[in-house]
Amino acid sequence: MSNRSARRRAREFALQGVYQWLLTGNGVALIEDQVQQNSDFDKADRDLFHTLLRGTLNAAGTLEEHFAPFTDRSVGELSPIERAVLLLGTYELSTQIEVPYKVVINEAIELTKSYGGTDGHRFVNGVLDKVAAQLRATEVAARRQNDQ
């Protein structure tokens, strides 16, 4: 646990917040307050946590419109962890342009491996690859050309 970066911890706490929101519908202030009670929260990138949680919850409908076409079932049928990771990953792909798309996807895969079902990370990877190709077409095309 100690080797995890402050950014990874921020993503983990944001995931917990989005998950809680999906299950309870609680407001962002209450969720932030509850998540910040965790004894490890001081090791997280506080600014990134707030940016990810608030941005994801405020744009949830739009974010789901981005990834829903690439899922094999309705958004409501996704596991709450997969849905929360896809929301966070799609938010980060659409707004955190300074973070390479591969980093966003890899972080989402790691979150899903840690908190999701057995093969959930494969599903998340496939969906976010397609979302990245749509939201960051230039970056993805440049990466693919460099990999050849």
User: What domains, with CATH codes, occur in the chain?
Assistant: 6-147 (1.10.940.10)
pLDDT band at 145 (very low <50, low <70, confident <90, very high): confident
Cα–Cα distance for residue pair 103/107, rounded to 1 Å: 6
State the pLDDT at residue 117.
87
State the pLDDT at residue 56.
98
Query: Alpha helix (H) ranges present in 25-100?
Result: 28-35, 46-58, 60-67, 80-95
State the pLDDT at residue 1.
38
Q: Distances in Å between the alpha carbon of 72 and those of 68, 98, 129?
A: 8, 30, 14
Cα–Cα distance for residue pair 80/119, rounded to 1 Å: 14
State the pLDDT at residue 91.
98
State the pLDDT at residue 4.
60
**pTM of the model as a whole:** 0.94
Q: Please give the share of the chain, as a percent, with pLDDT higher than 70.
A: 97
Lowest mean pLDDT among 68-72, 116-120, 130-134: 116-120
| Closest C-alpha among 75, 58, 65 to residue 21 | 58
Region 113-128 average pLDDT? 94
Cα–Cα distance for residue pair 14/56, rounded to 1 Å: 9
Q: Is the pLDDT of residue 3 over 50?
A: no
